[in-house]
Structure 1
Amino acid sequence: MAPPRAVIEAVQDQLGALAGEPTVLGGGITNHNFRARFGDAEVVLRIAGRDTELLGIDRAAEHVATTAAARLGIAPAVLAFVPEHSCLVTAFVDAVPIADRALREPPALPEVARALRAFHEHAPALPVRFDVPAIARSYLALARERGDGDRAVPPAAWDAARLAARIAAAVAGHPEHALVPCHDDLLCANVLTDGRRVWLVDWEYAGMGDRYFDLGNLSINNGFTEADDRALLEAYWDAPCTPRRFAALRLMRSMSDVREGLWGVVQGVISDLDFDFSAYADTHLRRLTETTADPRFEGWLHDAATP
């Protein structure tokens, strides 16, 4: 597979002539990613897949977020944006995903925590919201509409949407849960190192949301233990971990599974990619059920609601 000729021509207008043939980069599920050289620049082309707007992705917001993150020194520089072809071009960095264990330890853990807090506190307001209960409702409606009615939605998905609303209500009103710019997709593949520094990439789900979603999403997607969560919170806030903060992070791990599980449900209906979205959804919804069965879960809801 190669990038469409129209995309190549549009990028050449901004960066110079293409040198050689683009090569496919792996790792993406919703996009097509290529490494290429235009003029003197070694770049990554990110071209949106089909119907990604149905997943709540706003390419203009992605551009704003990636540009802001690059200015903060936590993402590769944005070199071009071709909105008519849903293509974002960033500088290529020779970096690889950080292994789970390394991510949970210094120096990576505090560096990622500082990077997230910098984005949360210094990036400009983004033009979209990232509201998990609203996303859950939208995904369920879309799955029913595009699929076989209620049979397109597993029963656990409805329970997940109700849980998202309950968690959001528990933390509502606390100043630490005020809307801030967030990444919202901190999978292992999106947290990279070049051996000298950490890079956060793939900002397509970025929006105004709850900073604790970023922390919980990072935690559950990268195998953090409860001790790791406390270390993450201490690094992020530069202060001892409190019961309220710990509870909020544990709840947002569940909120992350809500989003991932229902994302898998809707992708199974709308996507034409060769990927087992049903298994992906089942993994997250099953883990969500196990988490809510933890006898401490109700206590976390109580502690997170404490002023």
Structure 2
Amino acid sequence: MKQTNIIDELIESGLFGEHVAIEAVKGGAINRSFRLLANDTQYFLKTFELNHIAPSDRQALFIQQAQLADHQKAAKPIYLSRSHDFQVEEWVEHTSLLNSSLRHPDKITFLARVLWEIHQLPTFALSIDLPKNWMLYLENADDPDDVYWLDRIDKCKPAWIDTHKVDQVLCHNDLAMEHIALTEPAVIFDWEYAALGNRFFDLASCALINKLDEHDTIALQTHYAQLCGLSTEYVFEQCQLQFPIVALTNDLWYLVAKTVKKDIG
């Protein structure tokens, strides 16, 4: 979406005044991020570049983020575009967990606690059909080796069906250290993949997204088990079931993201 179109819509909304400017800031692999300046106030603006491939209920996610903001776990959302392809929310000045001066072991402990706190929140999230998303990603990606991907999907789908509705909690599903602000209390960003799901998928996803080695992954699982009052053996066992599902989801997402990034330049 062109920046001029975004600015025009923001002005037309009547929420940001007549003098609106946006400047690019570091974003994710695909979605673009901006600092929005309006009426001497700054906001955060994010585009949703994959929305046309794996459609999400952005209105429901907007409401969900507002509820999370009420629980002091998210930045307050301000505006969702008419086409649901960008969102404006409060600007939160912060240092991320990734860039903090905490010792690395302490970062792992902090990460486990944030996961545990998210999983305690009221389950007002929607569920997702992950196998459906896998197929949508595959259909929209530039990759001729469908046999390889379909074989991985066939192997992971039964495990996902068996475990998805077990021990369901609100899951963030993209909890990178850079998505955690060391505010008081800690604010978490990028809730666009949040959904109701198996807590151990979220735990395994957190380990993969943060590229934790075996030692750090064990530490993350151990701290999480202690916080939940679960045996470490049980947590390890459940995460082992989720790692192949998480890896497939991550690989297919990056496959289609590469295609979209090429298309949008």
Query: What is the SS of the residue equivalent to 1:94?
Result: coil
**Separation of aligned partners in 2, 1:55 and 1:208:** 17
Normalized per residue, the structure richer in helix is: 1
Query: Could you tell me which of 207, 210, 231 is aligned with 2:219?
Result: 231
Deviation at 1:268, TM superposition (A): 4.5
Aligned 1:106-117 pairs, distance under 5 A: 106=106, 108-117=107-116
**Separation of aligned partners in 1, 2:187 and 2:193:** 17
Kept after mapping to 1: 8 A contact 2:11/2:17: no
Kept after mapping to 1: 8 A contact 2:66/2:77: yes
Residue 190, structure 1, aligned to residue 182, structure 2: no
Query: What is the SS of the residue equivalent to 1:113?
Result: helix
After superposition, the Cα gap between the structure-2 partners of 1:181 and 1:92, relative to the gap in structure 1 and judged at 3 Å, is same
Unaligned stretches of 5+ in structure 1? 275-307
Q: What's 1:75 paired with?
A: 74
Kept after mapping to 2: 8 A contact 1:66/1:78: yes
Query: Could you tell me which of 127, 131, 134 is aligned with 1:133?
Result: 131
Deviation at 1:72, TM superposition (A): 2.1
Aligned 1:268-279 pairs, distance under 5 A: 268-269=258-259, 272-274=263-265
Deviation at 1:43, TM superposition (A): 0.5
Deviation at 1:47, TM superposition (A): 2.8
Query: Could you tell me which of 4, 8, 11 is aligned with 1:9?
Result: 11
Post-superposition Cα deviations, 1:52-110, rounded to whole Å, max 9, x if no partner, equal 2312433223313322322222222223333445332111122354339958522x444
Q: What's 2:122 paired with?
A: 123
Q: What's 2:187 paired with?
A: 199
Query: Could you tell me which of 235, 242, 249 is aligned with 1:245?
Result: 235
Kept after mapping to 1: 8 A contact 2:17/2:38: yes
Query: What is the SS of the residue equivalent to 1:43?
Result: strand
Kept after mapping to 1: 8 A contact 2:174/2:209: no
Deviation at 1:216, TM superposition (A): 0.9
TM-score relative to the length of structure 1: 0.70
Number of equivalences: 259
Q: What's 1:156 paired with?
A: 148
The sequence identity of aligned pairs, in percent, is 20
Q: What's 2:42 paired with?
A: 42
TM-score relative to the length of structure 2: 0.80
Unaligned stretches of 5+ in structure 2? none
After superposition, the Cα gap between the structure-2 partners of 1:119 and 1:188, relative to the gap in structure 1 and judged at 3 Å, is closer
Kept after mapping to 2: 8 A contact 1:45/1:90: yes
Query: What is the SS of the residue equivalent to 1:55?
Result: coil
Give 4+ residue runs of structure 1 displaced > 6 Å after superposition.
none
Residue 215, structure 1, aligned to residue 203, structure 2: yes
With 254-263 and 237-246 compared, the bigger mean Cα shift is at: 237-246
**Separation of aligned partners in 2, 1:109 and 1:204:** 23
Q: What's 1:264 paired with?
A: 254
Kept after mapping to 1: 8 A contact 2:29/2:257: no
One-letter code aligned to 2:129: D
**Separation of aligned partners in 2, 1:222 and 1:156:** 26
**Separation of aligned partners in 2, 1:167 and 1:247:** 13
**Separation of aligned partners in 2, 1:24 and 1:170:** 42
**Separation of aligned partners in 2, 1:89 and 1:203:** 13
Kept after mapping to 1: 8 A contact 2:42/2:91: yes
After superposition, the Cα gap between the structure-2 partners of 1:60 and 1:266, relative to the gap in structure 1 and judged at 3 Å, is same
Q: What's 2:170 paired with?
A: 181
Deviation at 1:209, TM superposition (A): 1.9
**Separation of aligned partners in 1, 2:195 and 2:162:** 21
